[in-house]
Chain A
Amino acid sequence: MTLKLRTSAGSTGNINFASSQAITKYIYSPDNVYMDDWGASLTGYGNENLKWQTTLAYNAGFDLGFFKDRISLFADAYIKRTNNLLLPVNVAPSTGFISYTENVGEVENKGLEGRLQMNIIQQKDWKWMITLSAFHNTNKIRKISNELEEMNARLNNSEDSNIGGNVVYQYDKGNSVTALYLVRSAGIDPATGNEIYIKRDGSYSFYYDYRDKTVVGDAEPFLNGNIINSLSWKNLNIYAVLSYRTGGMAYNSTLATKVDNANPRYNADKRVLYDRWQNPGDVAMFRRIDDLSTVYQTDRLLQKNDYMTMSNLSVTYLFPSKTSKKFGCEYLKLIAATTDLFRIASIKQERGLDYPYAKTFTFSINASF
C-alpha cells in the first residue's frame, strides 16, 4: 500500500478574461465587402472598468494505492473563492447589446472530487480497467454588485420573466448561483382546474404573485461523474464512457410550453387532450384545458434532473507494425466511435428542437507514414 498526501493554497488570475470583454472591438469578415470598403462590425460592448477576476484556492487530498497500485484511489477537497467574479449582465437590447461583462461579486465554491481506478485484469493479451469518478460541488454567493442587484430586481418585477420554459436565474447573497426561484404550487384544484399557488406564509391562493417566489431547488447536481470501462484484447480495444448526474433539479420546459400552455385548437401534444383538467373532480397534473392564459412558472413542473448517458463508445484496432508496414505505414489504426448512444433520464423533455444535439457514428482510419 502506498499513500501520498497533497495540499496547496494559491491565488490565480482568471485565464478566461478575453480582451474583448474590456475593449470594444470590431471584426472584419470576408463577406462584408461593401463597395470600395470592407465593412467592420461591432462585436460587443467592452467594459473599460473591468477588474481582473481573482481566485483564491485551497486544496487538500490524498492518493492511495493497493496491491502494487492495481487499485488506486485519488481524493481531493477544495475551497475556491472568486473575487470580482465576471458574469454577463443583461442590458436593454435598445442599447444595441444583449449583455456585457461586469464584475458582479464574490462566489465561494466548495467541493469534493474522487476517482477510483481499478486494473482488474492485467495480462499479456487481456487488459480491463474501470475508472469511477465522482464530483460534488456547492457554491454560495458571498457578495453581489449593485448592477447585479438591479438586474435581480428587474427580473423579479417583470411578469415576463416568470413565464415560458426557462427559469431565469437570480443571484442572492447566501444562495447558490444556480438556485431555482419559483412560486410553490399545491397542484391543480380538482374542482375548478385552476392552479393553487402557495404563498410565502403557507396559505393557498388562486392568484400568482412573483413575491411568493422562493428557492425550491438547485440546478447543480449533488453528484456527477463518469464510469469508464476500457477492455483490450491484444490490439483490439473497447472504450466506453457512462456519464451520470444526480441530485439536481430542472424546470420541465416541454410540459410548460407544449402541454400546459398549448392551445388545443392547434396541432398539439396528445397530453393536452388526455392529461389536462376537463371536468370537476378530475385529478390532473395539468391545468384546465380551456384556459388559454399564460402559465406562470411554479414548482409543479419542477422535476429531478438525474440521468445516465453513454456519452462515448469506441472500438479501436491497432494493426501490428508488420501489417501496417505492408500498407506502407509506420502506424495504422481503425476507430469506430459513437456518442450519446443512449440516455436514461428522470425528466422527459424534448431535446434538440431549437439546437440540435448530435448522436454521431464515426469511423476513422489513423495512419502515419
Chain B
Amino acid sequence: MKKLKYNIIALLFVAFTSCNDWLAVEPETSVDESKLFATEQGFKDAIAGVYVHMASESLYGEEMTFGFLDVLAQQYDYETMGTPFHKYYKDRDYDYADASVKKRIATIWNEMYSAISEINNILKWLDVNGNVLPEASYHRIKGECLLTRAYLHYDLLRLFAPNVKVSPDAKGIPYVTIFGVEPTEPLSVSQTIQLALEDIAEAKVELANDPILSTAPYQFTNKIESDRYVARANYYAADALSARIYLDMGDYPHAVSAAESVIHSGKFNLLNVGKSINVNPDSLDILFSDEHIFSLRNTRIRTYSEELHLAKRTETSSSGASLPLPSNISEIYAGNNDDIRFSTWVEVGTNYLLKYNREIKRFYPKQTLIRLSEMYLILAEAQLKTNNNKALETLNILRRTRITNPATQDIPVLSENEIVNEMRREFIGEGQLFFLFKRLNRAIPNILQDVAPGNVVFVFPIPDSEKEYGL
C-alpha cells in the first residue's frame, strides 16, 4: 500500500514537470494547407480568413476607411492632430517620407498583398482539390476569390499609382495571380485595370448561381441573415465594383449600365427613415444596412473607433486624444438638421463621428465597402458627364431618402460641385473621399487651407522593401 502511494506521488510529479513539453507542442489550431483544403469547410474557412484579414485594423477595419484614408481626405479636425503625440501628426500633411507614415503605408501594401496571396492559394487548391466541393460551393468560392482579388488590387492601384485618366501609361502595381515567392512585374495603370476587369468578368460567370440571385437581402428583418449574402463578395458586388472602375476611367456608358444593374436588381433598398432611423435607439440602423452591397464584419471595429474618435484608452491605444470631425461639419451638411446623416452620425456639440462606436445590439459591427448610395452617385455623375437630363433626378432620389423635410430635399440644378458635396455628406468614415478628390483631381477642402491636388498627395510612394525588387 505504501509503495503504491509513492508511485502515485511519482506519477503526479512526472505529470507536473512535463508541463513545459506541453507548451512546446505545436498548437492544434495550426494546420497544414493540404489538410485544410481537404474538406469543403476548410475552403470556407480559408475565404472567411481573407475577409477577417481585410476587416483588420490595418486595412478596412480602420486605416483604409475611417482611419488613415479619411485623415488624408481631411475628414477630421486638422488642429486636433497637430501634436507630435497624435498618431496622425505627420499623416495630416501628407508627409509620406516620414518614418511613421512610411510604416503605415508599407503595412497597407504588405497586408493587402498578404490577403491576395491567401486568395491565390485558395484558387490554387481549387484547381488541385476542388472536387471535394459540391458544384455550387466550388463556383461560389471561386467567384468570391476572383472578385475579392480584383477589389484589393484595384484599391492598391488607386493608392499607389496615378489617376488613370491623367496617366494611363504610368507604372501600375503588380497584379499577382500566382501563389509563391517569385515577384510579379508591374504593368501600366490601364493594363492593371484591364486585369481587374477580367477577374470581375470571370467572377460574374462563376457567381451565375450566387444565392443572392434568388433572394433579396434587404427584406430580412434579421440583418444577420442578410449578411450571409452581403458580408462577402457577391454577384452584385461585381457590378458595383465595375461601376466604380468605369467611372474612374471616364467610361461613362459602362459606368451607367453597371450602376443601373445594381440599382434595378431589387436586392438592395435605399434608406427607409421610418423603418431604420425613427426607431427605438437600440435598433437604430446607423449603417443603413439595406444599402449594403459588399461589407465586412468585425466586432472590434467599435473598439477601433472608440480609440480613435472618442479616445477611450486601451492597452494598445496610441492616439491619446479624441478626434472630432472638422469644425465646419455643420456647413458640409448645409446646416440642414433634417439631414438624417447629420443627425445620426455626428454628435451635437462635440462633432464626434458616431457611426461605428454606438452599441446597437440588433446590428453586428461592420464596415461597408460598397453601398447602394454610391451607385446613385456614380450614376448621377456619369449621367451629368454625358449630358443626360436624368442626372438631377438620380441625385434627388437619393436625397429624398436622406432629408426628411420635403422643402430642402431637392436641389434645383446639378453640377459636379453638388455631387462632390453630396459625397462628402454620404461617405464620412468610409475612406471613399480620398479617392473622390483623386478621381476629379480636385483640391481637398480644409478649413485653414485647401490641399492642392497632385501626385505628391494622391500617389503613395511604393514601400522601400518593394523597390529593392526593381519596382
With beta carbons under 8 angstroms apart, the residue of B33, B41, B50, B463 that contacts A93 is B463
Assuming the A-B contacts A29-B29, A39-B49, A41-B53, are A160 and B468 also in contact, with contact meaning beta carbons closer than 8 angstroms in the complex? yes
When chains A and B are docked, how far (Å) is the Cα of A46 from the Cα of B361? 42
Within 8 A of A (CB), among B37-79: 41-42, 44-53
When chains A and B are docked, how far (Å) is the Cα of A40 from the Cα of B44? 9
Q: Are B113 and A94 interface neighbours, CB within 8 A?
A: yes
Chain B residues within an 8 Å CB radius of A41: 49, 52-53, 118
Chain B residues within an 8 Å CB radius of A95: 113, 117, 176, 180-184
User: Which residue, B44, B106, B184, has most C-beta atoms of chain A within 10 A?
Assistant: B44
Q: Are A92 and B183 interface neighbours, CB within 8 A?
A: yes
Q: Beta-carbon contacts of A166-184 to B below 8 Å, as 1s and 0s?
A: 0000000000000000000
When chains A and B are docked, how far (Å) is the Cα of A23 from the Cα of B173? 28
When chains A and B are docked, how far (Å) is the Cα of A47 from the Cα of B463? 25
Nearest A residue to B227, CB-CB: A35
Assess whether A348 is interfacial by the CB under 8 Å rule. Answer: no
Task: With both chains docked as a complex, state the minimum distance between the C-beta of A204 and any C-beta of chain B, in angstroms.
Answer: 29
Q: Beta-carbon contacts of A33-61 to B below 8 Å, as 1s and 0s?
A: 01111111111011000000000000000
Chain A residues within an 8 Å CB radius of B466: 92-94
Assess whether A155 is interfacial by the CB under 8 Å rule. Answer: yes
Assess whether A98 is interfacial by the CB under 8 Å rule. Answer: yes
Assuming the A-B contacts A40-B45, A100-B181, A267-B84, are A158 and B468 also in contact, with contact meaning beta carbons closer than 8 angstroms in the complex? yes
Q: Are A155 and B468 interface neighbours, CB within 8 A?
A: yes
Assess whether B36 is interfacial by the CB under 8 Å rule. Answer: yes
Q: Beta-carbon contacts of A255-266 to B below 8 Å, as 1s and 0s?
A: 001000000001
Within 8 A of B (CB), among A74-105: 90-98, 100
Assess whether B140 is interfacial by the CB under 8 Å rule. Answer: no
User: Which residue, B30, B42, B49, B228, has most C-beta atoms of chain A within 10 A?
Assistant: B49
Assess whether B297 is interfacial by the CB under 8 Å rule. Answer: yes
When chains A and B are docked, how far (Å) is the Cα of A100 from the Cα of B52? 23
Interface size class of B (residues with CB under 8 A): 35 or more
When chains A and B are docked, how far (Å) is the Cα of A25 from the Cα of B49? 13
Assuming the A-B contacts A34-B297, A91-B181, A96-B114, are A26 and B46 also in contact, with contact meaning beta carbons closer than 8 angstroms in the complex? yes
Nearest A residue to B180, CB-CB: A95
When chains A and B are docked, how far (Å) is the Cα of A39 from the Cα of B232? 13
Chain A residues within an 8 Å CB radius of B33: 23-26, 46
Chain B residues within an 8 Å CB radius of A100: 181
Assess whether B471 is interfacial by the CB under 8 Å rule. Answer: yes
Assuming the A-B contacts A32-B52, A45-B180, A257-B99, are A39 and B45 also in contact, with contact meaning beta carbons closer than 8 angstroms in the complex? yes
Assess whether A109 is interfacial by the CB under 8 Å rule. Answer: no
Nearest A residue to B156, CB-CB: A94
Interface size class of A (residues with CB under 8 A): 35 or more
Main secondary structure of the interface of A (DSSP, over half): mixed
Q: Are A28 and B45 interface neighbours, CB within 8 A?
A: yes
Assess whether B6 is interfacial by the CB under 8 Å rule. Answer: no
Q: Are B297 and A35 interface neighbours, CB within 8 A?
A: yes
Q: Are A94 and B173 interface neighbours, CB within 8 A?
A: yes
Task: With both chains docked as a complex, state the minimum distance between the C-beta of B457 and any C-beta of chain A, in angstroms.
Answer: 20
Q: Are A160 and B467 interface neighbours, CB within 8 A?
A: yes
User: Which residue, A46, A91, A96, has most C-beta atoms of chain B within 10 A?
Assistant: A96
Task: With both chains docked as a complex, state the minimum distance between the C-beta of B153 and any C-beta of chain A, in angstroms.
Answer: 10
Chain A residues within an 8 Å CB radius of B315: none
Assess whether A20 is interfacial by the CB under 8 Å rule. Answer: yes
Q: Beta-carbon contacts of B208-244 to A below 8 Å, as 1s and 0s?
A: 0000000000000000000110011000000000000
Task: With both chains docked as a complex, state the minimum distance between the C-beta of B155 and any C-beta of chain A, in angstroms.
Answer: 14
Chain A residues within an 8 Å CB radius of B180: 45, 95
Within 8 A of A (CB), among B300-357: 300
Q: Are B49 and A32 interface neighbours, CB within 8 A?
A: yes
Chain A residues within an 8 Å CB radius of B168: none
Q: Are A96 and B84 interface neighbours, CB within 8 A?
A: no
When chains A and B are docked, how far (Å) is the Cα of A282 from the Cα of B32? 63
When chains A and B are docked, how far (Å) is the Cα of A36 from the Cα of B46? 12
Q: Are B48 and A32 interface neighbours, CB within 8 A?
A: yes
Assess whether B14 is interfacial by the CB under 8 Å rule. Answer: no
Chain A residues within an 8 Å CB radius of B31: 25-28, 40
Task: With both chains docked as a complex, state the minimum distance between the C-beta of B465 and any C-beta of chain A, in angstroms.
Answer: 5
Chain B residues within an 8 Å CB radius of A38: 45, 48
Q: 5 A-B pairs, CB-CB below 8 angstroms?
A: A28-B45, A35-B228, A40-B46, A43-B30, A161-B464
Given A34-B52, A35-B232, A42-B114; 12 other pairs, CB 8 A cutoff: A26-B31, A27-B27, A34-B48, A36-B44, A37-B44, A46-B33, A91-B181, A94-B466, A95-B183, A96-B117, A154-B469, A158-B464
User: What is A's interface to B at a CB cutoff of 8 Å?
Assistant: 19-20, 23-29, 31-32, 34-43, 45-46, 90-98, 100, 154-155, 157-158, 160-161, 257, 266-267
